[in-house]
Structure 1
Amino acid sequence: MSSSPGALPASSGSLLSQLRIFALASLGGALEFYDFVIFAFLAKVIAAQFFPASQAEWLRQAETFGLFGAGYLARPLGGLVMAHYGDVSGRKKVFTFSVLLMAVPTLLMGLLPGYDVLGVGAPLTLLALRMMQGAAIGGEAPGGWVFVSEHAPPGRAGFATGLLTGGLTGGILLGSVVILVLHAVMTVAAVADWGWRIPFLLGGVFGLGAMVLRRWLDETPVFREMHSRAEIAETLPVGILLRLHRRAVLCSMATTWTLTAAIVVLVLMMPPLMQTLHHVSAEETMRASLVATFCLTLSVVGVGALSDVLSLRGLAVLCGTLLAGGAFALYGLAPYWPGTLVGWAAVSGLCSGFVGLVPVGMLRAFPAAVRFSGLSLSYNISYAIFGGLTPAVISVLVPQTPLAPAVYVAVIAVVGVVGMWFSPEELKAGSFLHSSSDYPD
C-alpha cells in the first residue's frame, strides 16, 4: 500500500504485533504514572524519613508536598526537550528513554538513606530525583499518545489512544491498590520504618523491565515516512508551533485544563474533600476513589473508540455535559444519601470520558512534523499551571458552598468544550501524515 499525502501509511504489522505495541505502551505508561503518584500516597512517611525530626510535623509535610510539586514544575521543560528529539530523531528512542528516566529515580528513592544518615543531602537528593521523575512524566503521556496513534491502523487511532490513556489512569489505580495492600499486610510501624520502600523498589524494577521490552518496539510508520521524504523540521519544532499553530496550542491547553479538573477534583481531591465537608470515613472515600479511577479508565477507552466514528465536536458537547452532571452527582447527591458515595463515584468516573477525548483532539490538531512537540507544549504547560492552581482555587471556594468542586468542574467543562469546538482538526480520524508543504522551515 503506497502512502499519499494525508493518508496513514500501511499498518506496521499483524494484529498480534499491533496488540503487542499497544500493550507495551500502556504498560509502560501505567508504571510511569504509578511511580509518579506513590510519592503522594506516602508523603507523610517520606516527611518523617527525609526531614529533621526536630521540625514540626506540618512543616515536614509541607516540605514533602513541595518536593511533590517540584515534579510538576519539571514536566514542561522535560517534556519539551524530549518532544524536540522525538520530532527530530524519532518517537521510539524518546519513548524508551522516558521509562528509563522514571525507573532509575524511583528505584533510587527506594534505596536512598534518610536524614539521619545523609543529613541535608537526603532531601536535596530526593529533590533531584523528583525533578527527574517530573521530566520523565512530561515526555511519557505526549510521547505515548503520538506513538500508539501513529502505529494504529486506519480508523483506529482514537481507540489506540484511548487504550494508552486507560493505561495512564490505570497507573494511578495500581498505586492506590499497592498502598492499600501494603497497609493491610504490614503494621503502621513497619511501613514507617522500611515498608514504604517496597512500592518504590517494585516500581523501579518493573520500570526497567518495561524499558527493556520497549526496545523491541518499532519506530512509527509516520516518522519513517517523514524521514524517507526528508520532511522532518529543520528548525526548532517549538518555533514552528508558535508561528503556525498558535490556535491549536491554545485550544489544546483549554481542553487539557478540563482534563486536569476532572482528574484532580473528581479523583485526587475527592477523599479529603468528602472527609472534611461531609465527615465520610477515610475507608469509604478510599474505596470511592478506587472505583472512580477504575470507571474513568473504562470511560476513556470507550470515548477513544467512539472518536473513530463520531465527530469530535459532537462528542465534546456530550462528554462535557456528562462531566458536569457527574460532578454534581458526586458532590451534590452523595452527601445526602449516606453509604452511596462509592456508587456516585462510579457515576462520576463513567461521566469523565472527556479525559479520553483530549489527546485525540490534540493529535488531530497538529501535523506530524511537530505533533510530539505540539502535544507536549500544550499538555505539560497547561497541566503544570492548572493542575497546580486547581487545589488552591477549590480551597478558596469551598467555604462559600460545598458544591464549589462541582461548580468548578462544570465551568471548566464549558472551557474544554469551547476549546475542542474551535480546535483546528487538521487531520481526520486515521489520517496522520501531511505533505511536506505543510511544514515550512
Structure 2
Amino acid sequence: MSNALTKSDIKTLSLSSLGGALEFYDFIVFLTFIPILKLHFFPEQSELGSLMSIYGIYAVAYFVRPLSGIILAHFGDIVGRKRMFMLSLFLMAVPTLMIGLLPTYESVGILAPILLLFMRLLQGIALGGEVPSAHVFVTEHVKSNHLGLANSLIAAGLTFGVLIGYAISTSLNIIFTEQEVKEFAWRIPFIIGGGLGLFALYLRRYLQETPVFLQFKAEREKSSEFPIKTVLKKYLKESFFGILTTWLLMTGVIMVLLIPNLMKSELYGLSAPFVNKIALLATAMNIIGSVIAGLMVDRIGLSKTMIFFSIILGTSSTIFFSYLGTDSNTLLIGGLYIFSSLFLGLVACVPIFIVKLYEPQVRLTGMSFSYNIGNAFFGGLTTFLVPVIAQGFSENIVSYYLIFLCALGIYLGFVAKRFKI
C-alpha cells in the first residue's frame, strides 16, 4: 500500500478545504470589525448594550446549526455527500457578499440589524452542513492510513481562512485611514469573501461522489429509517462523547478569535498593529500545529496525540496569561502567544475523533449531529459570554476556561483509547 497521497486525494482535499476556509474567513472578519459593525448597526445603544447585541448576532449562527446540520446531513446520507457540499457553500457565499452590501442603521433604521441577523442565520445554516461534510468527504476518499492527515488538512484549511481574514483586515488598515475603514472600507472583506465563495462553488463541481457512499447507496435506498433515528437509537453513547469533544474547539475560538480582541481592548491596551501582526503569526502556527497533529494521529494514534497536545497547550497558555497584563515586554508576550498557538493542533483531533465513531450509513448525520449540537451549545456560550464577562467583569475567565478545556482534552484522550479510535 502506497504511503503517499495521490493526485486525486490532493485535488479532493484542496477543493474540500475551500468552503471551510471561507466560513472561518467570514467569522474572523466579522469579529475583527465588531467595533465598527456595532457603530453602524447599533448606534443608539450604550457601549455594553451594543457590544452584547453585536456579539449576540455573531453567536446566533451557532444556535441554528444543530437543526440545519441534521437536515443537510440527512440528505447527505440519502442523496449524496457532494450535493449537500455544494448547497452549504452556496448558503455561505451569498450572505457573506450581502453583509458587505447591507444598508446601515443610519439609512434604514431597525431594518439594518434585522437584515444583519438574517444573513448570520443563513451563514449558520451553511456552517451546520459544510464542516461535517468536508470531514466525511475526505475520510471516505483517502486510504485509512491517511485519515489523520486528511482531516487535519481540512482543519488547517479552516484556520487558513482565518489567516486570510487577518491578512486582509491588516491590509485595510494600511491602505485606508481609520476614518475610511469606519465609513466604507469595512465592507470590502465581506465582498471579497462572497466572491471567493462563489468561485470556490464553481470549482467544487469537479469533485466526485465518495466511493463509500456509492457502495451503500443501494442499501440506503431500501431502508425507510431516517439516519438521525438510527443515530439516536444505536449511537447514543458515541454521540454524547462526540458532542463533548466539540468543546475542545473552543480552545481555537479563544486563542485565535477572542484573545486578539481582548489584547487590543482597554483590559490590556496593546496596540492594534502589534496584535494584528502576532495574530497572523499565531494563526500560521496553528495551521502548522494542525498538520503535525494529523501526522501524529496516523503515526502514534489519536489518544496519545490528544493527551500530548492538551498538556503542552495548557502549560504554555498558562505561562502566556501569567505575563499578559503584568509585563511590559510585548515581544515576550507575543512570542508566548505564538508558541502556544502551535499546540492548537488539538482542534484537528476533534473531527478525527467524531468521524471514527459512526458507520458509513449514518456517518454524516452522526458527525453533523455531534459537531453541531456541541458547537451550538459550547460555541454559542463561549463567543457570547466569555468576551462580555472578560471585558465587563473578570479578565481571568479566559485563562481559567482555557486551562479547563485542556484538562478536558486529556480526559477525552483516554476516552479515545477506550473506544479504540
TM-score over 0.5 (shorter chain): yes
1:395 deviation in Å? 6.3
Distance 1:171 1:138 in 2: 17
Q: Show the counterpart of 1:290.
A: 280
SS state at 1:218 partner: coil
1:394 deviation in Å? 7.6
Q: Show the counterpart of 1:124.
A: 114
Distance 1:372 1:70 in 2: 23
**Which AA in structure 1 matches 2:60?**
A
Q: Show the counterpart of 1:222.
A: 212
1:397 deviation in Å? 8.0
**Which AA in structure 2 matches 1:66?**
G
Q: Does the CA contact (< 8 Å) of 1:109 and 1:200 recur in 2? A: yes
Q: Does the CA contact (< 8 Å) of 1:72 and 1:134 recur in 2? A: yes
Q: Show the counterpart of 1:40.
A: 31
Query: For residues 154-233 of structure 1, what are the structure 2 equivalents within 5 Å?
Result: 154-230=144-220
1:257 deviation in Å? 0.8
Q: Cα distance 1:247–1:233, how it changes in 2: closer, same or farther (>3 A)?
A: farther
- Cα deviations across residues 70-91 of structure 1 (Å, max 9, x unaligned)? 2122222221111111111111
Q: Show the counterpart of 1:342.
A: 334
Q: Show the counterpart of 1:103.
A: 93
Q: Show the counterpart of 1:367.
A: 359
Q: Show the counterpart of 1:421.
A: 414
SS state at 2:225 partner: coil
Query: For residues 76-115 of structure 1, what are the structure 2 equivalents within 5 Å?
Result: 76-115=66-105
Q: Cα distance 1:390–1:114, how it changes in 2: closer, same or farther (>3 A)?
A: closer
Q: 1:271 aligns with which of 242, 260, 269?
A: 260
Q: Show the counterpart of 2:405.
A: 412
Q: Cα distance 1:412–1:105, how it changes in 2: closer, same or farther (>3 A)?
A: same
Q: Show the counterpart of 1:18.
A: 9
1:67 deviation in Å? 1.6
1:54 deviation in Å? 4.3
Q: Show the counterpart of 2:227.
A: 237
Structure 1 stretch displaced more, 229-238 or 124-133: 229-238
Q: Cα distance 1:148–1:71, how it changes in 2: closer, same or farther (>3 A)?
A: same
Q: How many residue pairs were aligned?
A: 417
SS state at 2:356 partner: helix
SS state at 2:344 partner: coil
Structure 1 stretch displaced more, 28-37 or 165-174: 28-37
**Which AA in structure 1 matches 2:14?**
A
Q: Does the CA contact (< 8 Å) of 2:248 and 2:408 recur in 1? A: yes
Q: Does the CA contact (< 8 Å) of 2:31 and 2:257 recur in 1? A: no
1:181 deviation in Å? 0.7
Q: Cα distance 1:123–1:381, how it changes in 2: closer, same or farther (>3 A)?
A: same
Structure 1 stretch displaced more, 321-330 or 58-67: 58-67
Q: Show the counterpart of 2:349.
A: 357
1:27 deviation in Å? 2.1
Task: Specify every segment of 5 or more residues in structure 2 that has no aligned partner in the other structure, as ranges.
Answer: none
Distance 1:272 1:129 in 2: 23
Structure 1 stretch displaced more, 221-230 or 241-250: 221-230
**Which AA in structure 1 matches 2:228?**
V
Distance 1:61 1:338 in 2: 30
Q: Does the CA contact (< 8 Å) of 1:87 and 1:370 recur in 2? A: yes
TM-score, scaled relative to structure 2: 0.90
Q: Does the CA contact (< 8 Å) of 1:30 and 1:171 recur in 2? A: yes
1:308 deviation in Å? 1.4
Distance 1:399 1:202 in 2: 34
Answer yes or no: is 1:254 the counterpart of 2:241.
no
Which structure has greater helix proportion? 2
1:216 deviation in Å? 0.9
Q: Does the CA contact (< 8 Å) of 1:248 and 1:423 recur in 2? A: no
1:46 deviation in Å? 2.3
Q: Does the CA contact (< 8 Å) of 2:93 and 2:193 recur in 1? A: yes
After superposition, the CA RMSD in angstroms is 2.8
Q: Does the CA contact (< 8 Å) of 2:29 and 2:165 recur in 1? A: yes
Q: Does the CA contact (< 8 Å) of 1:88 and 1:233 recur in 2? A: no
Q: Cα distance 1:142–1:341, how it changes in 2: closer, same or farther (>3 A)?
A: same
